[in-house]
Amino acid sequence: MSEKVSNETSDHSMDFAVPAGSGALAESHDLRSILVTSVLNLEKLDIDLYRGTHHWVPRSRRLFGGQIIGQALVAAADSVGENVFAHSLHCYFVRAGDPKVPVLYQVERIRDGRSFSVRSVKAIQHGQPILICQVSFHRDQPSPLQHQFSMPSVPPPEDLLTVEELIQGYLSKPDLAEKAKQGLTKLLADEVPIEIKPVNPPDIQYRRVREPKNLFWVRARGHIGEGDMKLHRCVAAYVSDYSFLGTTLLSFPGQRANFVASLDHAMWFHNIFRADQWMLYETESSWAGGSRGLVQGRLWRRDGVLAASCAQEGVIRVSTVKTDSKL
């Protein structure tokens, strides 16, 4: 089980789980993405055995589930041919990750066929699996059967503010409560290797009831380039876990998430894309109940092509928020 949000620093939840960070990661996009050089870079220990370390750890002090998914996909992709690409993955989080120790990734080669190959990956810490992932790879084949949904009509990313800019705007309010200020300052200090621009940012008091749907532009910080489509899919798998389960809370502004943990995560890749260019992430929660929530997501290229789809169920435990009138 991958715990992602504890919300211990503020009574007011944002509808994005974490912001893109400031500091060293906010450098020129001409620099090589840290997602390539560090976050998703595995050490090969033996055939089908890899070791991964951690770059960013959420405030919950548990490993970020997207990193484990992305690293597992890197390990699986290393065991297939150059012209075979992941088209789907299905993961179960079975234990919380420990940020103090590396993760071992053990790949099992289940099947190699003419068109499809299947790999099973176990992410292991302290001798026990923390994630079990099945990945299917496909050699691309042309087909006359093609259709997709239409991309939502939204403002381009150039017309929107980044999460850092939004937080700076909130912090500039002279009547901002000290507790809210402390929570936002901690969010701003996070160094996350992706950049986010919400289409419909939340109000800081989080009092407005919204549909359980969210839209934001997202891209990897730094340069990845056109070359390795396998790598772009690994980066997209990392990105797909951001702000995902938080979508279920948008209709309940009076509730604060005390505990949020991914149970499973599935993803399907449809078309080529670049994860270092702006993509629109559309998320919606079709159901919540029994302290669980289900969310579906779609990643769109700027030209309206559907790049990937994903789904996740997770545990969500909440408590009632006491509204602070001084904001």
205 a catalytic residue: no
Q: Choose the catalytic residue: 2, 262, 285, 309.
A: 262
Helices (H), 6-97: 34, 65-77
Report yes or no: 50 and 234 within 8 Å, Cβ to Cβ: no
- CA dist 119 and 134 (Å) reads 6
Q: Is the dihedral of CA 162, 168, 172, 177 positive or negative?
A: positive
Q: What angle do CA 74, 78, 80 make, to 5 degrees?
A: 125
How distant, in Å, are the alpha carbons of 15, 90, 116, 132, 137 from that of 119? 34, 11, 10, 11, 8
- Reply yes or no on whether 312 is catalytic: yes
Which is the catalytic residue, given 67, 241, 243, 276? 241
Pair 25, 192: CB distance under 8 Å: yes
The answer to whether the beta carbons of residues 193 and 56 sit under 8 Å apart is yes
CB contact at 8 A, 73 and 137: no
CB atoms within 10 A of CB 93: 27
DSSP state of 38: I
Nearest to residue 106, comparing CAs of 81, 82, 133, 85? 133
Contacts of 228 (CB under 8 A, 6+ apart): none
Catalytic site includes residue 13: no
Instruction: Work out the angle at residue 192's Cα, subtended by the Cα atoms of residues 44 and 269, and round it to the nearest 5 degrees.
Output: 65
Known catalytic residues are: 241, 262, 312
